[in-house]
């Protein structure tokens, strides 16, 4: 292909465009003004504040999507600065993705950020305004998380009705791209990528004109803040953006405010923030309150029309009491955070339970978060003993072998956790492309186990996480006579340790290593791990209590202490008959149990998400040297899951290394 042709960007094409100007008299088709006369940005008269607030919370575009979000692994890589939902109760949704830059060795303070902006109702009324505020909204969310807007780059995803030679059909993409272009010029920030589709038509049905703006940024982890309200007594202030006579942002004021807000956050004068969207302040303050179940009291002088009005680009901020006067941004105080757990506005009051029910019930039948399993009582007993297995074969720096099977994905996090604790670590992939590969892998595994003091089965999705035993591949390999013999030498001759987390716990169970302590065939009554009661994958942080000190793996943890770790599994429900459960508790083999906010073991699915019998999260072999647990203790690090509350470090890996010293 000639250079001259390439320089033309292909064949010359052109189309006539007739631009449809948004109706400045009626926004009845936009869904924003509910058929009333007025523009899309007009403020509605509100006669029933309580009723309107409840209606907003249950709106399909505001309501909780937790049942959907939890299907996706939000903690993989031990680098998620934000979990999708945060606060003590994991109910304040985040507006941005924030993750540490992944590095194989060492540590990093650099985080990447990404957010999006798009409102289909606004875009349906005016593709031009929709694109402008898609860009503005994506920037506002980065700023609300502590990012510097000046470093942002954009990528756009566009989707419009099918184009024809009809000039008016080109109005939507033409207007949207002009709007996005104006916003880029206004901010002085470029788009560096994008994708478009002009095929969103089926018979007479067209997609709404869609231009989604994704804002990408980098930042330092110490500048990041989370969106849940932190403390009763804090003031709630709003940075409002100015608009011109065409309802478009005044970019000079917007950028000045965003830059000042960045400095307010880094100085600690703003401790949480949330970007306002199409349902106004009412949506923002409620979602900020959910995470820690704190209340809000809105000032009497706040106009209800302003409280419920769409206001893309404005940002709600939590400011510690006494710090408001130090702010350099232009702001309006709209209320304060309370410890009453009630949303209050004038004479209207909504309890936290009422608000959460309205917010969570809309999609509960579509993406359920509860299975309906009975919340039965769970007994608690701490097993305190001085009879702890002592290693007779001391090693200054133990060797750890981590086998990697097709589908496992936690070997990187596990390796870093052990290396951080002071161990030497070897990982090897089990190759299974041919019979020769398998034979070579078996021999390589035998050699590594023979040199190791610790063998760890990592988490992930071994063999594609197939139903009814995703760790069968693990178990099959380790039942090989050669490998089995080396495992027995590790345990019986060298006082070795074994650890299995999540998928690795499943492997230990299927091999019989927990709770039996030796590789043995599973019997009909053997404990096992079954599908979560909800019938799907669950990804969230769980609180677990250490209920035994018998295991060498738990010597660095506090007996009775509660620790918070991410869970991410589809088959994590510990199941055993009464005899086994009684035996495990009596022997001190129950390592950890799922607990509620008060530290009580529970069958409540909110805290025990997989429905494990007697809330059991982890168990050990009879002597405690083999530990299997579901929650990912290896997925921790500085600034990881910073919107989650509680101690994350069980010191499992440090305890395992110290055992050999």
pTM: 0.94
d(CA 117, CA 152): 14
d(CA 141, CA 96): 6
Query: Could you tell me how far CA 364 lies from the centroid of its own chain?
Result: 19
pLDDT of residue 131: 98
Task: State pLDDT tens for residues 617-655.
Answer: 999 999 999 999 999 999 999 999 999 999 999 999 999
With contact defined as beta carbons under 8 Å apart, do 81 and 378 qualify? Answer: no
With contact defined as beta carbons under 8 Å apart, do 256 and 328 qualify? Answer: no
Tell me the CA distances in angstroms from 472 to 296, 306, 457, 516, one per residue in order: 51, 59, 13, 18
Tell me the CA distances in angstroms from 292 to 59, 295, 340, 489, 503, one per residue in order: 22, 9, 11, 50, 31
Question: Phi and psi for 634 in degrees, rounded to 5?
Answer: -80, -15
Tell me the CA distances in angstroms from 622 to 337, 509, 512, 518, 627, one per residue in order: 50, 13, 12, 10, 10
- Measured from the Cβ of residue 384, the count of other Cβ atoms closer than 10 Å reads 12
By DSSP bridging, strand 110-117 and strand 153-159 are unpaired
pLDDT of residue 469: 53
* Cα dihedral: 586, 592, 595, 600 (round 10): 30
Nearest to 532 by CA among 465, 457, 620: 465
pLDDT of residue 468: 56
With contact defined as beta carbons under 8 Å apart, do 306 and 240 qualify? Answer: no
Burial class (CB in 10 A: 0-12, 13-18, 19+), 18: exposed
Task: Find tokens 């018979």 and name the residue.
Answer: 203
pLDDT of residue 35: 36
**Tokens linked to 21:** 């100007």
pLDDT beneath 50: ranges in the chain: 25-38
pLDDT of residue 510: 93
pLDDT of residue 362: 98
Which residue ranges form the domains of the chain, and what is each CATH number?
48-75+228-369 (3.90.650.10), 399-659 (3.40.50.880)
Task: State pLDDT tens for residues 453-471.
Answer: 999 999 987 666 665 555 7
């Amino acid at each position: 292909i000639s250079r001259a042709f390439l320089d033309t960007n292909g064949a010359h094409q052109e189309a006539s465009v007739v631009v449809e100007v948004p109706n400045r008299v009626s926004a009845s088709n936009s869904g924003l003004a509910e058929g009333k006369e007025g523009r899309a940005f007009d403020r509605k008269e509100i006669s029933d504040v309580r009723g309107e607030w409840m209606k907003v919370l249950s709106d399909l575009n505001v309501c909780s999507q937790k049942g959907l979000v939890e299907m996706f692994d939000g903690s993989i890589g031990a680098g998620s600065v934000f979990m999708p939902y945060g606060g003590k109760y994991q109910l304040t949704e985040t507006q941005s993705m924030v993750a540490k830059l992944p590095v194989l060795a060492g540590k990093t303070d650099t985080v990447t950020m990404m957010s999006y902006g798009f409102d289909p109702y606004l875009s349906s009324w005016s593709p031009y305004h929709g694109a402008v505020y898609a860009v503005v909204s994506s920037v506002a969310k980065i700023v609300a998380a502590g990012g510097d807007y000046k470093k942002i780059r954009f990528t756009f995803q566009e989707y419009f009705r099918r184009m024809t030679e009809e000039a008016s059909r080109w109005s939507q993409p033409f207007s949207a791209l002009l709007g996005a272009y104006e916003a880029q010029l206004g901010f002085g920030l470029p788009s560096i990528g994008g994708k478009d589709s002009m095929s969103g038509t089926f018979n007479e049905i067209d997609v709404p004109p869609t231009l989604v703006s994704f804002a990408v940024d980098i930042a330092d982890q110490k500048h990041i803040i989370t969106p849940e309200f932190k403390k009763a007594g804090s003031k709630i202030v709003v940075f409002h953006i100015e608009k011109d006579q065409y309802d478009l942002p005044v970019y000079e004021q917007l950028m000045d405010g965003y830059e000042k807000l960045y400095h307010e956050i880094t100085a600690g004068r703003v401790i949480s923030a949330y970007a306002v969207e199409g349902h106004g302040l009412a949506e923002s303050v409620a979602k900020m309150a959910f995470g820690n179940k704190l209340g809000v009291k809105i000032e009497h002088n706040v106009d209800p029309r302003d409280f419920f009005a769409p206001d893309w680009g404005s940002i709600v901020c939590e400011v510690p009491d006494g710090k408001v006067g130090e702010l350099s941004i232009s702001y309006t105080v709209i209320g304060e955070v309370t410890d009453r757990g009630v949303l209050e506005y004038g004479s209207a009051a909504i309890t936290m339970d009422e608000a959460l029910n309205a917010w969570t019930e809309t999609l509960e039948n579509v993406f359920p978060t509860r299975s309906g399993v009975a919340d039965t009582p769970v007994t608690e007993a701490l097993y305190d003993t001085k009879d702890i297995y002592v290693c007779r074969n001391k090693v200054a720096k133990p060797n750890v072998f981590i086998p990697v099977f097709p589908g496992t994905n936690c070997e990187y996090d596990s390796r870093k956790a052990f290396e951080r604790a002071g161990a030497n670590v070897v990982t090897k992939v089990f190759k299974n492309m041919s019979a020769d590969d398998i034979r070579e892998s078996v021999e390589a595994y035998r050699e590594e186990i023979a040199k190791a003091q610790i063998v760890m089965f990592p988490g992930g999705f071994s063999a594609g996480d197939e139903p009814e035993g995703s760790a069968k591949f693990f178990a099959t390999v380790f039942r090989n006579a050669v490998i089995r013999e080396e495992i027995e030498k590790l345990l019986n001759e060298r006082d070795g340790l074994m650890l299995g987390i999540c998928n690795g716990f499943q492997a230990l169970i299927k091999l019989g290593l927990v709770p039996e302590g030796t590789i043995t065939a599973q019997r009909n009554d053997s404990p096992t791990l079954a599908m979560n009661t909800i019938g799907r994958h669950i990804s969230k942080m769980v609180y677990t209590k250490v209920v035994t000190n018998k295991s060498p793996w738990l010597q660095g943890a506090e007996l009775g202490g509660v620790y918070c770790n991410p869970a991410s599994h589809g088959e994590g429900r510990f199941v055993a008959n009464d005899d086994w459960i009684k035996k495990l508790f009596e022997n001190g083999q129950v390592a950890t149990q799922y607990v509620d906010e008060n530290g009580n073991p529970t069958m409540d699915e909110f805290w025990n998400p997989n429905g494990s019998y007697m809330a059991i999260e982890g168990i050990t072999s009879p002597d405690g040297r083999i530990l299997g647990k579901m929650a990912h203790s290896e997925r921790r690090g500085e600034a990881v899951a910073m919107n989650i509350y509680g101690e994350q470090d069980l010191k499992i890996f440090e305890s395992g290394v110290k055992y050999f010293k």
